[in-house]
């Protein structure tokens, strides 16, 4: 489990393909300080398991499914990636609950500067847009962001300078591919409400108790 608060930008050392799978090596400074084999680290929002930590270099096994359904397989040497260690029970939850399990990929439709902020539009399939809530949370390449606006086939976020400086979204361009993880609380609520006659949780119940 993660928060979507990026700790540092890592640098891709290599992505060695081995048949349908691969081994990813990433240079880092902060997250390597206490990482041991078996730890979970989010790379661009994808939960990966450390298989080696040596001299500031982290290595991860990448399965075929991950290469196929995330942007990890597109990484090149010297690319920056967003890094976050798994959430500790006693730390502040500054972002939102992020599992590291990617729902889909998205293409940046438009990126523009507007009065001290940057507006980015991300394409999204209608089947996924129903889980995106205006002013709600979403993880883009592992970054916890607040949704500005939602449309049928795209959504909008507005980025502050800190986010642009400290995450990969600062240098992402139009048509670049990013990983999307929808808010797990929204997905679970939708599942409960869809289970007609099988759950005591209803829209009326959620409204009565202040959830919606």
The number of beta carbons lying within 10 Å of the beta carbon of residue 99 is 14
Instruction: Inform me whether the pLDDT recorded for 161 exceeds 90.
Output: yes
* pLDDT band at residue 7 under the 50/70/90 scheme: very high
Mean pLDDT estimate for the chain: 92
Query: How far, in Å, CA of 112 to CA of 201, rounded?
Result: 41
Those residues with Cβ within 8 angstroms of residue 151's Cβ, 6 or more apart along the chain or in another chain: 129
* pLDDT tens digits for range 51-86: 999 999 999 999 999 999 999 999 999 999 999 999
Domain ranges of the chain: 8-85, 104-189
State the pLDDT at residue 20. 94
Q: Which fold has domain 8-85?
A: Elongation Factor Tu (Ef-tu); domain 3 (2.40.30)
Q: pTM for the whole thing?
A: 0.88
Second CATH level (architecture) for the domain 104-189:
Beta Barrel (2.40)
Instruction: Inform me whether the pLDDT recorded for 197 exceeds 60.
Output: no
State the pLDDT at residue 196. 61
Q: Is the Cβ–Cβ distance between 96 and 4 less than 8 Å?
A: yes
Domains 8-85 and 104-189 share a fold: yes
């Amino acid at each position: 489990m993660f928060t979507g608060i990026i700790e540092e930008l890592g640098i891709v050392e290599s992505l060695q393909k081995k048949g349908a799978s691969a081994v990813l090596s990433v240079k880092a400074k902060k997250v390597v300080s206490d990482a041991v084999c078996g730890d979970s680290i989010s790379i661009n929002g994808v939960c990966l398991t450390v298989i080696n930590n040596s001299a500031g270099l982290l290595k991860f096994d990448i399965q075929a499914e991950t290469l196929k359904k995330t942007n990890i397989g597109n990484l090149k040497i010297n690319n920056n990636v967003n890094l976050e260690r798994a959430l500790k029970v006693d730390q502040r939850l500054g972002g939102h609950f992020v599992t590291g399990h990617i729902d889909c990929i998205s293409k940046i439709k438009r990126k523009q500067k507007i009065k001290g902020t940057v507006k980015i539009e991300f394409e999204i399939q209608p089947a996924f847009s129903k889980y995106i809530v205006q002013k709600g949370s979403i993880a883009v390449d592992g970054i916890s962001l607040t949704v500005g606006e939602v449309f049928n086939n795209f959504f909008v976020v507005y980025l502050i300078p800190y986010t642009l400086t400290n995450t990969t979204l600062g240098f992402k361009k139009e048509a670049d591919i990013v990983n999307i993880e929808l808010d797990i609380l929204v997905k679970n609520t939708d599942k409960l409400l869809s289970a007609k006659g099988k759950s005591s949780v209803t829209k009326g119940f959620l409204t009565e108790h202040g959830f919606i």
